[in-house]
Amino acid sequence: MPVFRAERAAPSLRLTLQLWAGVLLLYGLLIVRGGIHTGPDTQSYSHWADQLIAHRFNPVSFLRQESFTAPLVFYTGWITVVAVRKTALGSGGMNGVLILNWLSIGAGSHRILSVVRDATASASSQILAALL
């Protein structure tokens, strides 16, 4: 007769939350320690966001007047995020980007840890996923 391993219960939700809190804390410390860094395209997005604000968030009017090598319609999502950030946070807007990054890593890491917990039923797999 074949022998089957008994199914193991998935690790507790508590472990998932503890690992998630560790990821959030570590990433938060890295953000605070590293500070604000901008890329070469930051000025372009800032300019386009200012133009979108000047057009009162009317994307049709904005796209008719602005031009770029590639169609700006492909960039309107992020341009809108930057414009909303600039409108809502003013001069502290770059801190908003850091917060958005932190929230994104938080949502993504929680989802990954949950999937690993459900798929593997292994605490060590969850720990490895958190370290990666």
Would residue 29 count as lying in a domain? no
Quote the pTM value: 0.70
Would residue 126 count as lying in a domain? yes
pLDDT at 12: 83
Instruction: Band the pLDDT of 46: cuts 50, 70, 90.
Output: very high
In this predicted structure, the answer to whether residue 47 has a pLDDT above a threshold of 70 is yes
Would residue 111 count as lying in a domain? yes
Give me the chain's average pLDDT, please.
89
In this predicted structure, the answer to whether residue 56 has a pLDDT above a threshold of 90 is yes
User: What are the structure tokens assigned to 91, written together?
Assistant: 């001069």
Give the total number of structural domains in the chain. 1
How far apart CA 40 and CA 20 sit, in angstroms, is 32
Would residue 56 count as lying in a domain? yes
User: What are the structure tokens assigned to 111, written together?
Assistant: 């989802």
pLDDT at 9: 66
In this predicted structure, the answer to whether residue 71 has a pLDDT above a threshold of 60 is yes
The residue range of the domain holding 78 is 41-131
Would residue 106 count as lying in a domain? yes
